[in-house]
Amino acid sequence: MPHTTTNPVIVYDDAGRVTDANPAAARLVGVPLETLRRMHVRDFNHPDELAASEARMRTMRVGDEVHFKQWFRCCDRRYMRVAVTGIRRGTGGYRAEYVPLSEPVELPDRLPGDLRSA
């Protein structure tokens, strides 16, 4: 179980499947907690940011911590800008804590340069 926090936390296995999450994450995504626990990292990334997200997870070593911003698909399939703190877990997989930075918005299928994450 993710440790207690008020921020949304999702734990992924090495293949990107959700293995655990807290209730705040379920509220952010807009699905029941048990449904969230059957989802995949692909379900939360904008297509233009997915490759970078998956590469980040693959290349992190145990104990590495990263901080970045990205678009996160949430309620009603809209996107919210979030700050992410991610860490590679010693037991395998990846733990990500999300801090919402914006209200949910509609995004195009292709992000213009000024909306892409760095």
Q: Is residue 81 part of a domain?
A: yes
Rounded Cα–Cα distance for residues 4 and 46 (Å): 27
Q: What is the pLDDT of residue 10?
A: 96
Taking only the tens place, the pLDDT of each residue in 83-106 is 999 999 998 899 999 999 999 999
Q: What is the pLDDT of residue 75?
A: 81
- Listed as ranges, residues in the chain with pLDDT below 70 are 1-5, 118
Rounded Cα–Cα distance for residues 23 and 111 (Å): 30
Q: What is the pLDDT of residue 84?
A: 95
Q: Is residue 86 part of a domain?
A: yes
What pTM, to 2 d.p., does this model score?
0.88
Q: What is the pLDDT of residue 4?
A: 54
Q: Is residue 117 part of a domain?
A: no
CA dihedral angle for residue 45, residue 105, residue 70, residue 84, rounded to 10 degrees: -100
What's the total number of domains in the chain?
Answer: 1
Q: Is residue 70 part of a domain?
A: yes
